[in-house]
């Protein structure tokens, strides 16, 4: 029987990169890792270049055929591919291959995800990132494929049971768990500032009410 294709997804800033690196360290296969500073990403994110091309094309309503890519992957290895927004296309992805596809969806404290996005991402509103989090959650709850909901803070705290459950779901070996790529110091709880959180929430709610009224 063919080994599964594991797709790591989740909101940006939810430790998806650390999660995918952990899977690769335990036998996951991905030979098109993308994210070199020499390209257009500013740090190594352990993303699949082909999957990211697929997501970017879908963003602009363009077709992108992954059948040839999936057929080229070794069937005797667990394939671990990461791109944060993949969960949106779960139904379509299963049409490109007969191999079993599973999702690992990374959950992080929503408050930390939103504030990290405000600090590191494009300068958008609190409400924008909050709605994106809710929108991604809806895709997870309706996903037709097997999903492992991973609380990434538990993996970063090197919780052995969480690591074993994750690897078992991905059909990767659990006999020697290696936490060397997991740095607990990266588990950072963001401080909520009045300006970025309280005021943004207050302002955008009232702006929405204003536009509904006119």
| 3-state secondary structure at position 184 | helix
Give residue 129's pLDDT band: very low, low, confident or very high (50, 70, 90).
confident
Q: Is 142 helix (H, G, I), strand (E, B) or coil?
A: coil
Query: Is 207 inside a domain boundary?
Result: no
Domain boundaries, position 183: 5-110+140-187
* Other CB atoms within 10 Å distance of the CB of residue 24: 18
Whether residue 193 is contained in a domain is answered as no
- Is residue 171 included in any domain, yes or no? yes
What are the b/e assignments for 70-97, b being 16+ CB within 10 Å? beebeeeebbbbbbbbbbbbbeebeebb
Q: Which residue has the higher pLDDT, 41 or 159?
A: 159
What 3-state DSSP class applies to 62?
A: coil
Tell me what pLDDT residue 186 has: 65
| pLDDT tens, residue by residue, 51-74 | 989 999 998 899 999 999 999 999
- How many folded domains does the chain comprise? 1
Q: What CATH number is given to the structural domain containing 86?
A: 3.40.50.300
Sequence-distant (≥ 6) Cβ neighbours of residue 179 within 8 angstroms:
158, 163
Whether 176 maps to a domain, the answer reads yes
CA 99 to the chain's CA centroid: 21
131 is a domain residue: no
Domain for residue 33, yes or no? yes
Q: How far is CA 202 from the centre of its chain?
A: 29
Q: Is residue 82 part of a domain?
A: yes
This prediction has a pTM of 0.83
- For residue 117, being part of any structural domain is answered with no
Q: Flag whether pLDDT at 126 surpasses 80.
A: no
């Amino acid at each position: 029987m063919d080994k599964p294709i594991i797709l790591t997804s989740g909101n940006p800033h939810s430790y998806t990169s650390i999660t995918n690196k952990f899977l690769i360290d335990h036998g996951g296969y991905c030979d098109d890792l993308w994210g070199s500073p020499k390209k257009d990403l500013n740090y190594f994110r352990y993303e699949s270049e082909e999957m990211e091309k697929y997501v970017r094309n879908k963003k602009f309503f363009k077709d992108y055929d992954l059948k040839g890519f999936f057929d080229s992957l070794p069937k005797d290895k667990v394939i671990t591919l990461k791109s944060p927004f993949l969960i949106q296309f779960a139904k379509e992805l299963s049409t490109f291959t007969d191999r079993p596809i599973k999702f690992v969806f990374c959950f992080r404290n929503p408050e930390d995800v939103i504030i990290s996005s405000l600090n590191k991402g494009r300068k958008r509103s609190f409400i924008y990132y909050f709605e994106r989090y809710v929108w991604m959650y809806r895709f997870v709850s309706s996903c037709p494929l097997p999903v492992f909901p991973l609380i990434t803070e538990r993996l970063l705290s090197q919780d052995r049971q969480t690591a074993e459950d994750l690897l078992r779901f991905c059909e990767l070996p659990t006999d020697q768990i290696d936490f060397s790529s997991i740095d607990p110091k990266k588990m950072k709880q963001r401080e909520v500032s009045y300006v970025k959180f309280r005021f943004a929430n207050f302002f955008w709610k009232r702006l929405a009410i204003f536009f509904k009224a006119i």
